[in-house]
Chains A and B, each alone.
Chain A
Amino acid sequence: MRLPPVAITAIVFVVGFALCTVQFPNFASTRVAANLLTDNAFLGIVATGMTFVIISGGIDLSVGSVIGFTTVFVALAIERLGVPPLVAFAAILLLCAAFGAAMGAIIHVFDMPPFIVTLAGMFLARGASFLMSTESTPITAPLYSTVSDFALRLPGGGRLTAIALIMLAVVAAGAVLLHFTRFGANVYALGGSRATTALMGIPVGSMTVRIYMLSSVLAGLAGIVFSFYTAAGYSLSAVGVELDSIAAVVIGGTLLTGGQGSVVGTLLGVLIQGLIQTYINFDGTLSSWWTKIVTGILLFAFIALQQAMLGIARRAGPRKAGVLKS
């Protein structure tokens, strides 16, 4: 009876995939599956960071802009300044870390709503990327062609690309960090209650800084992956990705008010959005806006479900579980 939200997400994904397969016989192939991972690699990475932020009770609206900024930064550094790609990557990740830390510090020190602070961050990062360049800059560095050529061949013709592998690695690392470390436990604790967490002796301030740092660094990494994917840097790239990643997190069963959720659920949430997109591509007559509508419906379904569960829990009161032997 008591199905965790992530199980419902998994069921939605499996049922969706099965329906697609029934309608399009060649849907169930490693090629489709591998493409699903490749096309949504950057979203998977950034949504992993968003999962941490949302479970801790916050939100990060700046990630889409950070991705855009990163692609421009990387493209200009490599193409205009001739910086070796790996050095450019290191520099941008450091910059992102500082950016996220600053947002987290402002949120904590001035006790401001994360929504509005990261909104300022969103304007700042997008504006800065426009200032650097408003045109799309193609990246021709040899590393880029090497990376895009690399792929693990799967039986059935699928190609598990490098960026898909990076995404899977990030999700795996994120899952370990969230579910098996003290840091992860503290993230859940913050989402449960900031005041209680502080009373229990957890340094709330440094946790907040580190969580937003993580989100920004992963957004930076997503930007690097996005630049691999498009082989270009463009200041208008990844507009609206913050919404897609929030949607993926919520559809993945994470409570938007914090305290509950999982990285694996988020991956499933990303894949469900990708699945809708793939279905639309296969169908050929449907248009891309159905992705948004279906995503919105799923979003509502999951939010309503969580609200209903909260309501039931409140009405029933705490379960009298456990054997009390006196």
Chain B
Amino acid sequence: MNAASDPGPALLEVRGLSKSFGTLRALQEVDFTLRHGEIHALLGENGAGKSTLIKAVTGVFPRDAGIVRLGGAEVAPRSAKAAVDAGIATVYQEVNLLQNLSVAQNLYLGRQPTRFGLVREAEMRRRATELLAEFDLHIDVAEPLGNYSVAVQHIAAIARAVDQSARVLILDEPTASLDRHEVEILFAVMRKLAARGIGVIFVTHFLDQVYEICDRITVLRNGRLIGERTTAELPRIELIRMMLGRELAETTSERAAAQARQVGEICARFEDYGKAGYVAPFNLALRRGEVVGLAGLLGSGRSETARLVFGAERADSGSAAVEGRPVRLQSPRDAVAHGFGYCPEERKTDGIIADLTVRENIVLALQAKRGLSKPLSRAEQDEIAMRFIRMLDIRPPEPERPIGLLSGGNQQKVLLARWLATAPRLLVLDEPTRGIDVGAHAEIIRLIRELCDNGLALLVISSELDEIVTYSDRVIVLRDRSHIDELEGEAVDVSNILAAIAAGTTGAEAGQA
């Protein structure tokens, strides 16, 4: 399918890989080809299937269908350990080494040089020092790994993998917490490895870095392969379109509905609101009955903005006001008291309480808001639960079922119900349609529209640009943790958002002009 112009012998070939979790199809017949000595970017938004692909290839998850060939021979590792033995090593963003052990022990754990059963500490350190020197890293290998910067830890992890004769090296977001200088060091290491013939898969959300170092690019979206291109032949805006957009024609008719809407008074306002190293100070005013979309690539500061607004993270600059009165948002509790609600991106870890029933999950925020001494009676709880189960069409319509047993889409609806029960003035939705099958997806979007028709202010984050364009009155574009542009009315369309993301600062200037 991807017959490239210069097909050197493929090092790693993935053909027709599929993987489902329950009803959710996380990967659908994905092909991927890695050649000897190339650095290959694997791109896509959260939920596009990058992690699933990596984990299915390295045996962390069993795969439903498809084959993987390494150097022409079929491999099917059943654990990450087996994948390493086969020659495929992965270095995750959360470095999978041990912070409490010395650098040398980390490099040689389980294979330390020994004599008479005793570890030859000096020999091990000598070897470790030599090994790291190959990567131009000159450090005291006797120090605990945790004492060193993340960059050093990444290089140590790479060194361990390479020393265990890895032929394919997968780097999952290695540069997310590195500064510019450290990134350059890491890139030098990657180039060196590529020169040795090792194939490097580079997962990142920094497009600049992709253009700086990668030979080819594979883009995934919603578990499907969107395309494989040579970096040099792929303009940046085209790449972003591959990652975020669909066809423009699909959405134009939908826009009309959003534009016809009436918006009301400002109900929440943030001025110079920000936190150093987290999100640059921004101005944001939210009106009743208005949907404001936050658009940008992964890591651009979308979720961070949401967490600041909801008090899950404390701002260190600027001020917030609700209905014109200044307020302090020190914790989610404060935000809830002021009528805010927040459906987080990570539904399972930050949203649902899996053991509790649908009813209990629905009434939770309302109960927390009312306080301990004003418990909702069981009859009130039942009434609230049934009302929202009917209103949002939650299935199965059984309030006493543990929420953990529901599908992702229905869990999301329960979380929406949790906040709607508190009659909020502002609702923040972070990726409300993530990991939800197509039917429920459309329903959630319909709900978002209805909610704002009822006078609720909504701040919605989504990686699906056409989705954001469908329901947003205004779209704020983020890049590199700052709000760089704002599109309103006619200007809200996919190509304008793409242009703003791709152009960065120029887009912001255009917006201000």
Contacts and interface: CB of A to CB of B under 8 A. Distances in A.
Direct A–B contact in complex, judged by CB atoms less than 8 Å apart: yes
A318 B149 contact: yes
Interface residues of A, number: 30
Contacts of B374: none
B109 A185 contact: yes
A275 B486 CA distance: 71
A320 interface: yes
B149 A322 contact: yes
Interface string B342-367: 00000000000000000000000000
> What's the dominant secondary structure at chain B's contact region?
mixed
Interface in B87-136: 96-101, 105, 109-110, 112, 114, 117-119, 121, 136
Interface string B157-189: 000000000000000000000000110110010
Contact of B185 (A196, A260, A324): A324
A322 B81 CA distance: 30
Nearest to B120: A180
Contact of A326 (B81, B140, B184): B184
Nearest to A259: B100
Contacts of B152: 321-322, 324
Interface in A168-207: 176, 180-182, 185-186, 188-189, 191-193, 196-202
A325 interface: yes
Contacts of A323: 138-139
Contacts of A186: 109-110
B369 to A, nearest CB: 31
Contacts of B384: none
A186 B182 CA distance: 30
Contact of A180 (B119, B143, B182): B119
Given A200-B110, A318-B149, A324 B140 contact: no
A24 B250 CA distance: 92
A192 B121 contact: no
Contacts of A189: 98, 101, 105, 109
Contacts of B150: 318
28 contacts: A181-B118, A182-B119, A185-B109, A191-B100, A193-B98, A196-B96, A196-B97, A196-B98, A197-B98, A200-B97, A200-B110, A202-B109, A318-B146, A318-B147, A318-B150, A318-B153, A319-B148, A321-B148, A322-B138, A322-B139, A322-B140, A322-B148, A322-B149, A324-B151, A324-B152, A324-B181, A326-B181, A326-B184
A201 B86 CA distance: 13
B96 to A, nearest CB: 5
A158 B497 CA distance: 85
A324 B109 CA distance: 24
Contacts of A319: 147-149
A322 B151 CA distance: 11
B397 to A, nearest CB: 35
A199 B80 contact: yes
Contact of B101 (A185, A198, A325): A185
Contacts of B99: 192
Contact of B119 (A185, A193, A313): A185
Interface in B298-327: none
B158 to A, nearest CB: 14
A255 to B, nearest CB: 8
A257 B427 CA distance: 39
Contacts of B101: 185, 188-189, 192
A324 B154 CA distance: 13
B81 A201 contact: yes
Contacts of B84: 201
Nearest to A189: B98
Contacts of A182: 110, 112, 114, 119
B137 interface: yes
Nearest to B90: A199
A103 B149 CA distance: 39
A175 B202 CA distance: 43
A185 B147 contact: no
Interface in B180-222: 181-182, 184-185, 188
Nearest to A2: B147
Contacts of A325: 136, 138
A186 B147 CA distance: 20
B346 to A, nearest CB: 19
Contacts of A193: 98
